[in-house]
Structure 1
Amino acid sequence: MRPTDVERLTVAETVDRYAAMVRAKCAMGALAPGTAEVYARDVVTFAELAGADRVLDDLTGEDVDEVLLRFARKPDGRRARSGAGGQRAGAGEGEAASSPNASSPIAPSQSAASQARFRRSVSAFFQYAVPAGWVQLNPMQAVTLRPRHRGGLRAQRRALTAEQAEGLLGAARGLVDAAPAAAGRSDQRTELRDGLIVLLLAAVGPRVSELTRADGEHFFVNAGTRYWRIFGKGGRTRDVPLPRPVADVLDAYLREGRPLLDRGREPRALLLSWRGRRLARGDVQAVIDRVQARVEPERRRAVTPHGLRHTTATHLLAAATDMDAVRRVLGHADLSTLGRYRDELPGELEAAMRVHPLLGAVRDVAEEAPGGPGVQAGDGA
């Protein structure tokens, strides 16, 4: 028997109330803006898949299983590629053609990480729904589907090799150099912006939410060095110095590229779409894919914004950069977190063993021996 205090609310009504609660917690500092955005977006998707007009308390574990399956099969719009009649060159940021093209390839389904994240969001929603009096029982307790075991890092999450990173950065640099002579309407050209996005992601390794939240006023000069004040998780900020090549592209974008895109809609935002709106998290992937298409095939590999964050950490650590400095660049609160961001690079073990610190004396003796390295006592006797 259903208790009298359970409200017979529709899925849409409860999702609206939950999203309002999430926004309130974000405003009070109890939730990071990025986390609040993910929770709100996922419950809206849940309402679309479950049926907005259904009563929330009528949903069973089987219903939630079906929603999870439908989400897993849902095309990943971040990685959608247009066909001949799809997105114009240089589009993205929600600017793709609105009418579907039958010849366009189908976007990939959701990754294992996205499926696990969506399930966590739905579970948090129902955990709130029980004490709120929207459901009598939490249907997540009867859900049979579990997230797939990821089996380690996926290819698009692993760090790029030096050759792959150089190819991507070279393509970004090529976009920047070609910007003055680029064809098309001047107020829709995004070459400088796209090059800057890839350079910032690969050189500094920010979270994608930190990048899209950046405002022009967050960049400043101190003692001749350009800094980026990054607003990260938990209200923490960090000032990261930009390498000179990246700072030069930033200055060129602020001087020449951004004014062309400014429609006065987002006067403070650093990164704007050609419609003058602040870029969203999902738009950044379209930019990366567009720059990747300019890389030579032998050095090209799909990568996400978070994969570029892994790339930054991996190559800084491989270059023997102080671990605490890398932690501060990435904005980690705990040094131990770096272990998840340090990926293997081809040939690094062989290189480490060639310069083994305990065998330095042995190498010196071998090099000084008559006949040079490789000649041992007794050879030729």
Structure 2
Amino acid sequence: MRPADLERVTVAEAADRYVELVRAKTVTGALSPATAEVYARDVATLVELAGAGTVLDDLTGEDVDALLLAFARRPDGRRSPASSASRDGAGSGSGPGSGGGQSPSSQARFRRSISALFKHAALAGWVQLNPMAAATVTAKQRGGLRPQRRALTREQAQGLIGAATEQAQAPPPRQGRRDQRTELRDAVIVLLLSTLGPRVSELVRANVEDFFTNDGVRYWRIFGKGGRTRDVPLPPGVDAVLQAYLEQGRTPASASGAGSASGDGKALLLSWRGRRLARGDVQAVIDRVQRRVDPEQRRSVTPHGLRHTTATHLLADAVDMDAVRRVLGHSDLSTLGRYRDELPGELEVAMRAHPLLRAKPPR
């Protein structure tokens, strides 16, 4: 029997009241406006998935499980074709196949948001019991619902690298202003991400002076997490494209010192206006290069997905684990396990080339 003071509000009514309360907390400084809008967006998604007319108290733990799984499968709207163009010449676009399932971090955020709603609902008398306590879907299960692996296959990665290299070697187009061309810069971004796997924050923080040559090999001194640095040698092909970019691709605006007052003049990656590229601009660059890839080899990927790609293929090619750890900038070998994705057919290849069954070399 329900208590007399239970208020059987619908999901939509509960959401409206809760969001109003959350936004009121921004006035007192208890919540930032950005955090409040995140809560509001997630609660609106809950209304959409559960049904506006559903009574909040009727939702069970099984219903919450279904909601969490439904959210995990939703397309990621942050990379929809309707997304606005990136500012300042970075370009825009969403690669083919974009709009996959939600990332684990988005799923965890959604769970926190609706948990906060149900906690308030229990205190306000909208539900008898908090159904989140009966939810059984684990974070691992939700994260496993991603429809695509994060790492590109060898063919997909080679297609992306090939498109970036061809773009760097192609003659500049005759149309358009010379100081607004970004082909070489875009190629450098894709090649560095695909072959060295830096964090996107490390990439956009890079300065020209961070690249140096020692005994004929160019290195990138990467400033990583926790104040740690690592010197990573560039593959020859990547070095050649970087050199072309430094000589031809950095815009006259930046070369003449525009933006130097804010420190942008030192940045490796610049927009055509001479400003340091932002983290959010990098995805648009990847998507733009992807459009040059053969459709048979093309698959949408994030900057972090290219970090997974680097780790996966270096390890699959039997590169020393400690060397891979140093390339990626991890302090512990055990962390590599999170960046190693399975590759189709890799077990068959390993068994065909088993070291104990190889023929002895002739004497």
> Same fold per TM (> 0.5)?
yes
Q: How many residues align?
A: 305
The verdict on how the C-alpha distance between 1:330 and 1:181 changes in structure 2, with shifts beyond 3 A counting, is same
| Alignment partner, residue 251 of structure 1 | 243
Q: Which moved more, 1:277-286 or 1:147-156?
A: 147-156
> Is this contact kept in 1: 2:101–2:147, CA < 8 A?
no
Shift of 1:260: 3.8
Is 1:12 the counterpart of 2:19? The answer is no
Shift of 1:359: 2.6
Letter in 1 for 2:300: A
Letter in 2 for 1:247: D
Is 1:224 the counterpart of 2:216? The answer is yes
Shift of 1:182: 5.4
Q: Which moved more, 1:73-82 or 1:186-195?
A: 73-82
Measure, in 2, the Cα distance between the counterparts of 1:232 and 1:160.
24
| Alignment partner, residue 310 of structure 1 | 308
> Is this contact kept in 1: 2:211–2:218, CA < 8 A?
yes
Measure, in 2, the Cα distance between the counterparts of 1:215 and 1:44.
35
> Is this contact kept in 2: 1:190–1:257, CA < 8 A?
yes
Is 1:188 the counterpart of 2:180? The answer is yes
Shift of 1:349: 1.4
From 336, 351, 356, the counterpart of 2:349: 351
Shift of 1:120: 8.5
Is 1:273 the counterpart of 2:271? The answer is yes
The verdict on how the C-alpha distance between 1:320 and 1:48 changes in structure 2, with shifts beyond 3 A counting, is closer
Q: Which moved more, 1:167-176 or 1:209-218?
A: 209-218
| Alignment partner, residue 79 of structure 1 | 79
> Is this contact kept in 2: 1:261–1:272, CA < 8 A?
no
SS in 1 for 2:141: coil
Shift of 1:256: 1.5
Shift of 1:91: 4.9
> Is this contact kept in 2: 1:42–1:118, CA < 8 A?
no
Deviations 1:116-151 (A, max 9, x none): 35358879x9xxxxxxxxxx99xxx96838768335
| Alignment partner, residue 36 of structure 1 | none
Letter in 2 for 1:236: R
The verdict on how the C-alpha distance between 1:110 and 1:164 changes in structure 2, with shifts beyond 3 A counting, is closer
Measure, in 2, the Cα distance between the counterparts of 1:152 and 1:48.
23
Provide the TM-score with structure 1 as the length reference. 0.65
Measure, in 1, the Cα distance between the counterparts of 2:355 and 2:153.
25
Letter in 2 for 1:358: L
| Alignment partner, residue 208 of structure 1 | 200
The verdict on how the C-alpha distance between 1:276 and 1:257 changes in structure 2, with shifts beyond 3 A counting, is same
Deviations 1:206-253 (A, max 9, x none): 111111221222222222211111111222111111111111211221
Shift of 1:331: 0.7
Shift of 1:198: 0.4
Please list every run of 5 or more consecutive structure 2 residues that lacks an aligned counterpart in the other structure.
1-21, 45-58, 117-122
Please list every run of 5 or more consecutive structure 1 residues that lacks an aligned counterpart in the other structure.
1-7, 20-39, 52-61, 97-104, 126-135, 368-381
Deviations 1:299-324 (A, max 9, x none): 11111111111111111112211110
> Is this contact kept in 2: 1:79–1:286, CA < 8 A?
no
> Is this contact kept in 2: 1:157–1:306, CA < 8 A?
no
| Alignment partner, residue 129 of structure 1 | none
SS in 2 for 1:278: coil
From 87, 100, 103, the counterpart of 1:112: 103
Is 1:198 the counterpart of 2:190? The answer is yes
Measure, in 2, the Cα distance between the counterparts of 1:41 and 1:275.
29
Measure, in 2, the Cα distance between the counterparts of 1:165 and 1:73.
25
Measure, in 1, the Cα distance between the counterparts of 2:43 and 2:147.
31
The verdict on how the C-alpha distance between 1:196 and 1:179 changes in structure 2, with shifts beyond 3 A counting, is farther
| Alignment partner, residue 174 of structure 1 | 166
SS in 2 for 1:240: strand
1:358-373 pair list within 5 angstroms: 358-360=356-358
Measure, in 1, the Cα distance between the counterparts of 2:24 and 2:327.
45
Measure, in 2, the Cα distance between the counterparts of 1:277 and 1:73.
37
The verdict on how the C-alpha distance between 1:198 and 1:109 changes in structure 2, with shifts beyond 3 A counting, is closer
Provide the TM-score with structure 2 as the length reference. 0.67
| Alignment partner, residue 331 of structure 1 | 329
The verdict on how the C-alpha distance between 1:308 and 1:9 changes in structure 2, with shifts beyond 3 A counting, is closer
Letter in 1 for 2:242: L
| Alignment partner, residue 52 of structure 2 | none
> Is this contact kept in 2: 1:218–1:229, CA < 8 A?
yes
Task: Determine what percentage of the aligned residue pairs are the same residue.
Answer: 59
Measure, in 2, the Cα distance between the counterparts of 1:355 and 1:309.
27
Deviations 1:238-280 (A, max 9, x none): 1111111111211221222123462425222221223333222
Shift of 1:297: 0.8
| Alignment partner, residue 342 of structure 1 | 340
Measure, in 2, the Cα distance between the counterparts of 1:300 and 1:313.
20
Measure, in 1, the Cα distance between the counterparts of 2:307 and 2:183.
22
Shift of 1:282: 2.1
The verdict on how the C-alpha distance between 1:337 and 1:73 changes in structure 2, with shifts beyond 3 A counting, is closer
Compute the RMSD of aligned alpha carbons: 4.4
Measure, in 1, the Cα distance between the counterparts of 2:224 and 2:36.
24
Deviations 1:145-164 (A, max 9, x none): 87683353835543212211
